Amino acid sequence: MEVFKTGKGIAWGEHDKDLFEGTERFFRPAYIANLISSWIPALDNGKVEQRLKQEGSLKVADIGCGHGITTILMAKAYPNCEFYGFDNHAASIEYARNKAREEGLGEDRVRFEVASSTNFPLPAATTEEGKKGEGAYYDLIAFFDCLHDMEDPQGAAAHALKSIKPDGTVMIVEPFANDKLEDNLNPIGRMFYAGSTMICVPTSLSQNGPALGAQAGEAGISHVVKAGGFKHFRRATQTPFNIVYEAKP
């Protein structure tokens, strides 16, 4: 009650642990159904998927990875690439590490570390360190249903821009939302507004963030990403429950 009366919010990690399991269960079906089959193929006219399959050794960062569902799905689908999952919730990172081991994925394939969206590290360099585009940066950076409730989404976009190769891609998966409130007054929109009120907005407010909420819409996400320095932003694909955005330097 105090959180809503004062507007001070509640941090993600302060919620009951059942929320973390519930969030995994809620999003898992959509990720299993769409991530590998349609979302990644929609990026950069299919070039991202082609590189993940053919080139190998690409480095992928999953920001706000939670229990690591998406990180593990991608690591299993593209066995020649390296995947890094980052989240500021230590208990979720520990869960993700255990899950990866259960799936038979070693640290040479997928690594999980505690880090925020504005300070996650670069991958281990495979060539001369410090030269952008030569292995010390990411080829793909992904945000799955998390950018809208971060304390500093613009800062997260800016850090992603600094961490990605010049020809890299950022994939931003967000809950489906139209830009106008009245266009979201449907069964799905009402469900997302309820979740946003109880979880997303208080999480951002707890860190003095902008509280974009789960219904930020394309205009809101585009503004944040471009303010972070990205020049190219577009809607790559969508489902009834999600919109997949693509950003490039």
Give the model's pLDDT for residue 55.
74
- pLDDT band, very low/low/confident/very high, at 204 (cuts 50, 70, 90): very high
Residue with tokens 């945000």: 143
CA distance to 20, 49, 160, per residue, from 249 (Å): 33, 18, 10
Give the model's pLDDT for residue 213.
87
pLDDT of 8-62, one tens digit each? 999 999 999 999 999 999 999 999 999 999 999 999 999 999 999 987 789 999 9
Q: Is the pLDDT of residue 134 over 70?
A: no
pLDDT of 153-185, one tens digit each? 999 999 999 999 999 999 999 999 999 999 999
Domains of the chain, residue spans? 29-180+218-248
* Gap between the Cα atoms of 140 and 48, Å rounded: 8
pLDDT of 144-154, one tens digit each? 999 999 999 99
Give the model's pLDDT for residue 124.
73
CA distance to 32, 47, 174, 193, 241, per residue, from 237 (Å): 16, 15, 11, 22, 11
50: how many CB neighbours lie within 10 A of its CB?
12
AA identity, residue 204: S
pLDDT of 74-125, one tens digit each? 999 999 999 999 999 999 999 999 999 999 999 999 999 999 999 999 997 5
Give me the helices (H) in 12-152, please.
17-34, 47-54, 69-77, 90-102
- pLDDT band, very low/low/confident/very high, at 132 (cuts 50, 70, 90): very low
The angle at the Cα of 3, spanning 243 to 11, to the nearest 5 degrees, equals: 55
- Which range is least confidently modeled, 99-108, 133-142, 183-192, 229-238? 133-142
* Gap between the Cα atoms of 147 and 157, Å rounded: 9
Q: Is the pLDDT of residue 130 over 50?
A: no
- pLDDT band, very low/low/confident/very high, at 143 (cuts 50, 70, 90): very high
Buried b (16+ CB within 10 A) or exposed e, 85-106: bbbbbeebbebbbebbeeeebe
Q: Is the pLDDT of residue 129 over 60?
A: no
Give the model's pLDDT for residue 232.
98
The angle at the Cα of 220, spanning 49 to 202, to the nearest 5 degrees, equals: 105
Question: For 29-180+218-248, CATH number?
Answer: 3.40.50.150
CA nearest neighbour of 224 among 245, 196, 201, 195: 245
